[in-house]
Amino acid sequence: MTKTALHLNEMFVSIQGEGPHAGEPALFVRTALCNLSCEWCDTAYTWDWARYDRASEVRTVDVEQASRLVLSELPAHVRLVILTGGEPLLQQLALTELISEVQEERPDVRFEVETNGTRAPSPGLSALVALFVVSPKLAHSGISSGRRIRPAALNAFPPGRSVLKVVIRDGADFAELHTVVEACGFDRDAVWVMPEGTDPALLHARMAELVPLCIEHGYKVTGRLHVTLWGDKRGK
């Protein structure tokens, strides 16, 4: 019986709003804590204790408790669990154990991990994850390049089970995007470009600018369906 601790922020059922599986129902397991501090972060309540109360935002449980929570919240017809954050790969041992325990009861469920790509996945975790959605941050995040771009970590994600999802503000970001994609070794067919923002009107305007550039350079484009539907409401 494992007692590895897992720091959680929230858990909810919604639809995946971004990337290759947009529109698919999923259980979101949002972990607490992050090793970056992006200026535009829309989940700062997972790490910014100057603005949010850690005692209210972080629930620490052992993996057995977390597994029971996941199984109780996961509808029978939903077969996707998304481990997001914060930065989930700060808690790799706990997540490896969690996936194993959940899949003992629900072998039909697959797990995806959303990560900033600064930590390489362990072999044990990598073997259990169906898809890594890796989001390296660009300069507009306000973080130094050395902290946010780690080529060794980015190249450690398994080919064929990893995609890049890069937040873009405008066309001026594409030069840096090309550099990051080349450093990661990802094929452009596995790169999704996503407009930054939590306001539906702003997202629409930015999407209109990004689509022609994605067509020109061979990238895929993703919206933020949950933002279009619910704005920045939590738990959606």
Binding site for [4Fe-4S] cluster: residue ranges? 34, 38, 41
- Round to whole Å and give the CA distance between 236 and 228: 11
d(Cα 220, Cα 19) in Å, to the nearest integer?
9
- Residues of the binding site: 15-17, 30, 34, 38, 40-43, 84, 86, 135-137
Which residues contribute to the annotated binding site for Mg(2+)? 43
Structure tokens at 74: 């996961």
Annotated binding site for substrate: 15-17, 30, 84
Residue list, annotated binding site for S-adenosyl-L-methionine: 40-42, 86, 135-137
For residues 78 and 213, what is the distance between their CA atoms, to the nearest angstrom?
35
**DSSP H helical ranges for the chain:** 54-57, 63-73, 92-105, 123-128, 145-148, 151-154, 174-184, 200-217, 225-230
Task: Classify strands 131-134 and 59-62 as parallel, antiparallel or unpaired.
Answer: unpaired
